[in-house]
Amino acid sequence: MSWPTLESHRLWLAGETGRLLDFARGARVEGGFGWLDADGRPDPSRPLQLLIATRMTHVFALGHLFGTPGCGPLADHGVASIEETFQDRDHGGWFSEVGGTDKEAYAHAFVLLAASSAAIAGRPGASTLLERATGIVEQRFWSEEEGACVDTWDRGWQRLEAYRGANANMHTLEAFLAARDATGDAVWSDRALRIADRLIRDVAGAHDWRVVEHFDARWTPLPDYNRDDIRHPFRPFGVTPGHGLEWSRLLLHLQASLDEPPDWLVPAARRLFARAVADGWAAGGGFVYTTGFDGRPVVTDRLHWVLTEAIAAAAALHAVTADQEYDDRYREFWDFAGAHFRDAERGSWHHELDDRLEPSERTWAGKPDVYHALQATLVPRLPVTASLAGALASQMG
């Protein structure tokens, strides 16, 4: 019997969901959610960030749908903070952090995801936020001509960065699938497919299933982008195997959201997974952060989110294909997580390990949020549908 279908394992996953939600509760502060340190305390040296507010709102909406008491009010706190703390009331949209000015597609994707999940959970104020978020994304970030999203604007929507990024578009695709479940409008799945067509079928398919991350405004790849900033947490140099794993899973959710899905989605998901594991899984275990386009490691630190995405992708691929390989990998990945990443003493997961597999903070400090790890505990127990919130809501009846 595969682990995701084994009742005792599913009970363990439910316990891990609860453990992560308990850790996340400590992030609540006035005006939003704080960046958590290694002990689960908000770091007062960091300004409130939209990314943390939105991810935590999404997490607590999922917790409410999962049936965990106390998560609903925390999701409500998150919805209110997105509107009250981060909204630009003069020009529209949301600032990426308190005191900031830029409007980023990446952060706005998480506004849409949080609003969609909270709306599916039936939380007050979420529908209003969802309506506002869909309007901003459609008007400012979605490009019908390009079939993808642009990236970063200035405060007044006058200057657009001459850059296109796969990371922002990947999370926009995730948010579009959640919006599909929240609104019932198939246009969001259609747009998600257009993003996947461009970045995965066309570009990754032409690069041996390595995801190209950086492009100029004409969608010409920029292979040397951030060569002098190889540890960038959002736009690192080279190839990010973790994104290959994340795209692999998202293609399966995309397929489930479409009435007539194209036949390339599952084969592409399998190839992305195979390439990411071949390039990224290190001899001593764990996934390296980045590689070159030749598959050789660049940043060899192991980041927790990459492993969580590997776990989730393996579970989803096994559910869709029933291939034993994915259950074997799923077990291997969880074994490594249990031995090295789960912090049984201080809570949550270590966010980063060095080459000796010791906790490190060279890329990410502390344990900012539980978004990736929590989803890794849910995906194996849910049907592969458009969104996690939609899947949980359907199980509630």
For the segment 337-366, what is each residue's pLDDT rounded down to a tens digit? 999 999 999 999 999 999 999 999 999 899
For the segment 271-291, what is each residue's pLDDT rounded down to a tens digit? 999 999 999 999 989 999 999
Mean of the per-residue pLDDT values for the chain? Answer: 97
Q: What mean pLDDT is predicted for residues 61-70?
A: 98
Which of the residues 243, 304, 340, 350 is marked catalytic? 243
Domains located in the chain, CATH noted: 3-395 (1.50.10.10)
For residue 372, indicate whether it is catalytic: yes
Q: What mean pLDDT is predicted for residues 153-169?
A: 98
How far apart (Å, rounded) are the C-alpha atoms in residues 258 and 209?
A: 23
Count of CA atoms in the C-beta half-sphere (13 A) of 261: 19
Tell me, what's the pLDDT at 397?
Answer: 58
pTM flag (> 0.95): yes
Tell me, what's the pLDDT at 38?
Answer: 96
Long-range pairs for 88-93 at CB < 8 Å and ≥24 separation? 88/155, 91/155, 91/156, 91/157, 92/136, 92/140, 92/157, 93/136, 93/140, 93/153, 93/157
For the segment 94-132, what is each residue's pLDDT rounded down to a tens digit? 999 999 999 999 999 999 999 999 999 999 999 999 999
Report residue 395's pLDDT band, with 50, 70 and 90 as the boundaries: confident
